[in-house]
A and B are shown apart, each in its own frame.
Chain A
């Protein structure tokens, strides 16, 4: 499976935007970029995913580099509830290959 690289930790002030980077230089053409997050003492939850174009949903935005070797998850206005570990994951779209491979993620701390 193609690997991703994320910073171990980041801090951000409450109510400010947060940009979480992810490098995936060995990404293949059939890999989607997925983001999940894990709040304290909970299971992971889906945040957003994309293939080539930038994506927006109610939780976040995903900006994908033109060469697809990196991406950035954007939280537009961080709240204390956004403090979590964020995982950037590459998911192959080949039928039957639904597995997610989790790294150690980025631990995001929100400062009040």
Chain B
């Protein structure tokens, strides 16, 4: 099993550009999450999903959109990137009441 994978690993964007981060899991988990981590801080929840076709806002959802069209994929979109969105983005998934499995992260820089 590959576990949780994230694409891309690194990306540099100019202010105002858009992009989509892809998270994929092969463990048939219902729950999926997108977090961001800024230097010296813990992870903060952006959006999450409790099943295919559902999404919900987390702690810091502004400036991001998500979609869960397939159970195994969770997409995070930035419509108009801002320097404040420079961060490391982590995806995670879990089955009900189970441990969360995290991806390796995507390092995004917005100039």
Interface residues of A (CB under 8 A from B): 34, 36, 41-46, 49, 87, 93, 95-96, 98-105
B58 touches A99 (CB 8 A): yes
Q: Give the interface of B toward A (CB within 8 A).
A: 4, 31, 33, 35, 40-45, 48, 50, 58-59, 90, 92, 94, 96-97, 99-105
A sample of 16 inter-chain contacts (CB < 8 A) reads: A44-B90, A46-B99, A46-B101, A93-B97, A98-B31, A98-B48, A98-B94, A99-B48, A99-B58, A100-B43, A100-B45, A101-B59, A102-B43, A102-B44, A104-B40, A104-B42
B48 to chain A, nearest CB (A): 7
Beyond A44-B43, A100-B43, A101-B59, 20 additional contacts (C-beta under 8 Å) are A34-B99, A42-B104, A43-B102, A44-B100, A44-B102, A46-B100, A93-B97, A95-B96, A96-B50, A98-B48, A98-B94, A98-B97, A99-B33, A99-B45, A99-B58, A100-B100, A102-B43, A102-B44, A104-B40, A104-B42
- From the candidates B45, B58, B90, name the one contacting A43 in the complex (CB within 8 A): B90
Nearest CB to that of B33 among chain A residues?
A: A99
Question: Which residues from chain B contact A105 at a C-beta distance below 8 Å?
Answer: 42
The distance from the CB of B108 to the nearest CB of chain A, in whole angstroms, is 15
Residue pair A87, B42 in contact (C-beta under 8 Å): yes
CA gap between A100 and B42 in the complex, in Å: 11
Provide the bound-state CA to CA distance between A40 and B92, in Å. 17
A96 to B97, CA, bound (A): 9
CA distance A101 to B43 in the complex (A): 8
Q: In the assembled complex, which residues on chain B have CB atoms less than 8 Å from the CB atom of A44?
A: 43, 90, 92, 100, 102
Closest CB of chain B to A88's CB: distance in Å? 11
What's the Cα separation between A51 and B96 when bound, in Å?
Answer: 17
**Pairwise interchain contact B105-A43, C-beta atoms closer than 8 A:** yes
> How distant is the Cα of A88 from the Cα of B43 in the complex, in angstroms?
13
Write the chain A residue with the least CB distance to B90: A43
Question: From residue B105, how far is it (CB to closest CB) to chain A in Å?
Answer: 6
Shortest C-beta distance, A62 to chain B (Å), equals 14
B104 touches A43 (CB 8 A): yes
Contact assessment for B105 and A42 in the assembled complex, using a CB-CB cutoff below 8 Å: yes
